[in-house]
Amino acid sequence: MDWQTSEDTVPSAPITEADARLLRARPPATGAWRDGDPVGGRRFAALGSFRTEGGRELPGIRLAYETWGELDADGGNAVLVLHALTGDSHVAGDAGPGHPTDGWWEDIVGPGRALDTDRYFVVAPNMLGGCQGSTGASSIAPDGREWASRFPYLTIRDQVAAQALLADRLGIGTWAAVVGGSMGGMHALEWAVGMPQRVARLAVLAAPPSSTADQVALNSVQLEAIRIDPRFAGGEYYDEADGDGPHRGLALARRMAMLNYRSTIELNQRFQRSWQSGVSPLGRGGRFAVESYLDFHGNKFTRRFDANSYITLVEAMNSHDIGRDRGGVEDALAQVTARTFVLGIDSDRLFPVEGQQRIFRGIRSTIDDELVVLASDFGHDGFLIETEVVGAHLRRLLAA
């Protein structure tokens, strides 16, 4: 794969200046944020020792997070926004030093927007195990080396337990709302089931009640793509003298994932059978535009993510089962007391609507009489892209 930018690697639209900055150089061994890098809008909370569900002890964890707005004296206006698998704490704001990309929900969070920062104190943490400032595999362990392959297995419940410690540190007893999409929706649901007294309102967007065998299978292929890259080296790639890490495996995992994030409708309508170069599709040497689209996103991803973190987070998603040790999914959902909004997307092939329908049926305090299904050609990523519609529903939730 050619790591340089060119007109043959970015189909359909010119790249942004932020993308151009990101893509000019060869990828580093890891795209993780590291101590000494520009901090940007991050804050950090050192939360002490942490024991995972599996019994592993982390001697000290840290969560990176960003905030917008001001916390009321009684702490009652706090909204927790939880990111998807490859997101981070940078929900709103421009790309710049410390933040390789623009905020991922810029149209949702800000003054006068659905999550109005003139009214609400919005908190967005980078999840435990992530690679943008929170403790993860790329972080330095007590022996002065990266955790790398030694970093423990985490579950969704582990990550929510760490978020609860952050809430305690910030003086937030009950969230006015907990909002999450995709993997963040798994976290949001876990908050509302495991700590119902701490969640007044809940928004679950394009997330399932548990990870199915089909979803675990799709995840397993992505993880194997990383592990079979010779430069992955069993997860011990941070000391590579030439800075060369498992770029190809991580990029391939991202390209596989993109096929689940977007719909067949969008890909077929957007690219059809268009050819990216001047070479005839009847001969070798050129490529279809959709191939370049996937290459571009895989290439871009390696500059802001870490291969070990990808494995850690995907395995955490695999652990998701809201009914585990709670009598099953329906018994667990019956514990939710928050005023709840559930959103499914009609073209979502990663987490199909059937999962959101089950969540909706199991929660007794939904604000709607039937599941809200977003009609979108964008597939799973619709909750990130269709911000006008999603924002309107979040306004309804906050008014409930």
Determine phi and psi for 103, rounding to 5 degrees: -55, 140
Sketch out the chain's domains with CATH numbers. 17-399 (3.40.50.1820)
Q: pLDDT at residue 5 above 50? A: no
Quote the CA–CA distance of 390 and 153 in Å, as a whole number: 33
Q: Tell me: pLDDT of 3 over 70.
A: no
Average pLDDT, the chain: 91
The whole-number average pLDDT for the span 222-227 is 97
Closest C-alpha among 133, 93, 384, 391 to residue 258:
384
Our CA dihedral for 126, 128, 131, 132, rounded to 10 degrees, sits at: 30
Read off the pLDDT of each residue in 35-41 and give the average, rounded to a whole number.
96
Q: Would residue 72 show up in a list of annotated catalytic residues for this protein?
A: no
Determine whether 182 is an active site residue: yes
pLDDT tens sequence across 162-199: 999 999 999 999 999 999 999 999 999 999 999 999 99
What pLDDT sits at residue 270?
Answer: 78
Contact 260, 220 (CB under 8 A): no
Cα of 54 vs its chain's centroid, Å:
23
Q: Which of 187, 247, 320, 380 is catalytic?
A: 380
Q: Which of 107, 123, 68, 81 is nearest to 391 (CA)?
A: 107
Residue 319 annotated to the active site = no
Provide mean pLDDT across the span 46-69.
Answer: 97
Write down the catalytic residue from 229, 348, 377, 381: 348
pLDDT at 19 over 80: no
Q: What is the pLDDT of residue 298?
A: 87
Q: Within a 10 A sphere around the Cβ of 238, how many other Cβ atoms?
A: 22
**Active-site choice (182, 263, 292, 376):** 182
Q: What is the pLDDT of residue 13?
A: 47
Q: What is the pLDDT of residue 283?
A: 58
pLDDT tens for each residue of 245-294: 999 999 999 999 988 888 777 777 777 777 766 555 555 666 777 887 88
Quote the CA–CA distance of 168 and 192 in Å, as a whole number. Answer: 16
